[in-house]
Amino acid sequence: MKQLLTILLITISATVLDAQQLPYSQQMSQTAMNIWPDSFKIKPGIARWSYDQGVILKGIEGVWKLYGDGKYFNYIQHSMDFYVQEDGSIKDYKREEFNIDHTNNGKVVMLLYNVTGKEKYKKAIDLIRSQFNDHPRTKEGSFWHKKVYPWQVWLDGLYMGQPFYAEYAKLAGQDSVFDDIARQFINIERHTRDAKTGLLYHGWDESKTQKWANKETGCSPHFWGRALGWFGVALVDVLDHFPEDHPGRDSVIKILNRFAKAVTKVQDTKSGLWYDIVDLPNRPKNYPEASASSMLVYTLAKAVRKGYIPAAYFQHAKKGYAGIIREFIEVDKNGQTNLKGTVSVSGLGGNPYRDGSFDYYMSEPVVVNDPKGMGAFILASVEMEIAALPKPGNGKNVVLDNYFNNEWRKNGFGVNMRRHYTWDDTENGGFSLFGNIWQAYGANLGGLDVAPTAANLKKASVYIMVDPDGYKDTKKPNYMDEQSAAEISNWVKQGGVLLLMTNDTANCDLQHFNILSDKFGIHFSDRGRNMVKNNEFETGAVYNKNTNPVFTQTKKMYLKEISVLDLKAPATSVITQDADVIFATAAYGKGTVFAVGDPWLYNEYLDGRKIPADYENFTAANELVRWLLNKAATPVKTPAVKPKK
């Protein structure tokens, strides 16, 4: 893990590495981009709208968010644009087939809409979402796997549909949908969970008429590894979108805990892998399987990181990942990293008929670079690479001000949402990528939407204040005053870490905000600089030429329309350019203040899509986050303040 940590920190610091020195998530992503550069074809012929592609692209999404390289997002967009037309129609998507697999790529199109705001993506996700309105269901309300597989629910289907269903519901304010989602997870576990082992059978037939179905339970005969993997991924991914206070969330987490207990009992103790039929490792012809092992590693690692299951389960993820690397990863003579050991497909029923027997599962071909295995491996690698990073934020709460910066607007779904420098805002002006960085180093995220006090700051280890509102931003701005400034400065004096990021005087309220910053010897002046026109990026260049404790790797950053800082004791300059102070810090009592006159770490300047690659804002963000967390007080056990929406 120490070697992996070194590679990760170097990679995040934007140093060029040979292909085999790159983290495995990037190596496998590059393989996928080599095999499918333009559109997605598993077999010769036309490209098909296929859930397999969504598995790979969700993995690559994770790589983009962890490393900030825009080529990964661009590949995702290029891949989906082959299908999503300007009018929102989707090439080769057939809604009337009511195939739950066809909804999986909705997650990827949702990403594209959330980031770009393009209307064609909104129309496409509305089209996919509309399938759920008419999709056939069992009598108790679970989606059929396909129209051609009536009354059947497969574990696979929970992965294909539920996370997209949940994310759409979150953004559209459809709270009742979460009742439906929780019920579908509860129902399939109740029907397929084996009382003795805790494992879940691959499929369930409500009608009990299929040849593969047990006539009493309706379950298929075996515990298929990848089906369990699909279900695990579905659980941890759907929880990304569940409201914290929804009762169904606890139900899903309890299912996840039972699931983790069951699958780790059948993990091979020697190799760390899972077999294709997980409970029969010694049966002739059975074999360790790459996609199932990758999915289960991802499930366990992410569930531990999110706090859903006990931390002890991470050792199972670690052992499983080591086994995957040892048994399934190989580099060919051309330097391409390949994944062996994935079963190409396994299903139930159909024509020719698949009877769910052990012999049937063993009859399906095992291939190299199957997209389902590759996507699952990328997902697992991203989680393990996050886990390998230092965790100076463990137990620490990073609270974002939503009181002095309090802008709202309706999103594309007609729901009134906070915008502009907020954790949930995925568009150019949002802080979603900045939030991911804090979380990668172990921190909890929260928000404070009322005036700060000693009581409500007590739970914060780091308090971030960005772009205080003026009348241009909101009709009734909350201005900084002496009382709030005293509360915040006293909190810093007791050991708090304060991050101040304003804007130039034309774009935020500096007059009142300086009531606070002046207490630390930092004054946001009316003198602006880096007034960039269009894409004259060099005008926004800030160079790090001298040694400083914050930015040790970053050499060049991009900031535009910034307020120059005027300093007096106890403040000191971190970076000065042309005699203008750009970044400053102040030691104040037991606490620390960091200030800059620009909210420069918003998505547009972290995502690698706009600014040239020689501007190292993503590296700088990682360095700043680590520095601030290392300055922060001893971890607290209380949860972060949750933002209101």
- Residue 352 CA to chain centroid, in angstroms? 39
Retrieve residue 610's tokens: 């706009």
Query: How far is 350 from 148, CA to CA, in rounded Å?
Result: 8
Residue whose structure tokens are 């690479």: 385
The rounded distance, in Å, linking the Cα atoms of 169 and 395 is 30
> What is d(CA 25, CA 380) in angstroms, rounded to the nearest whole number?
8
Give the count of alpha carbons within 13 A of 348, CB side only: 32
Tokens of 207: 């009608």
Give the three-state DSSP class for 496: coil
Cis link prior to 390 (omega < 30° from 0)?
A: no
What are the φ/ψ torsions at residue 567 (nearest 5 degrees)?
A: -120, 150
Which residue in 101, 156, 467, 580 is the catalytic one?
A: 156
CA atoms within 13 A on the CB side of 425: 24
Distance CA 92, CA 43 (A): 15
Which value, to the nearest 10 degrees, does the dihedral of the CA atoms of residues 322, 323, 325, 328 take?
-170
Sequence-ordered list of residues with C-beta below 8 angstroms from that of 511, at least 6 positions apart, any chain: none
What are 63's two structure tokens?
A: 């790589």
| Residue 396 near residue 462, CB atoms below 8 Å | yes
184 touches 143 (CB < 8 A): yes
Is omega for the bond preceding 352 within 30 degrees of 0, making it cis? Answer: yes
276 in Cβ contact with 329 (< 8 Å): no
User: Among all chains, which residue has been given the structure tokens 């280890």?
Assistant: 461
Compute the distance between CA of residue 626 and CA of residue 611 in angstroms, rounded to an integer.
23
Does residue 237 have an active-site annotation? no
DSSP for 15-64, please give it. ----GGGS-HHHHHHHHHHHH-SSS--SSSSS----HHHHHHHHHHHHHH
In our burial notation (b when 16+ CB lie closer than 10 A, e otherwise), range 207-221 reads eeebebbeeeebbbb
Pair 430, 422: CB distance under 8 Å: yes
Instruction: Dump the DSSP string for 327-374.
Output: HHEEE-TTS-EEE--EE----SBTTTTB---HHHHHHS-EESS-HHHH
> Of 626, 64, 603, 613, whose CA–CA distance to 382 is shortest?
64
Active-site residues: which are they?
A: 156
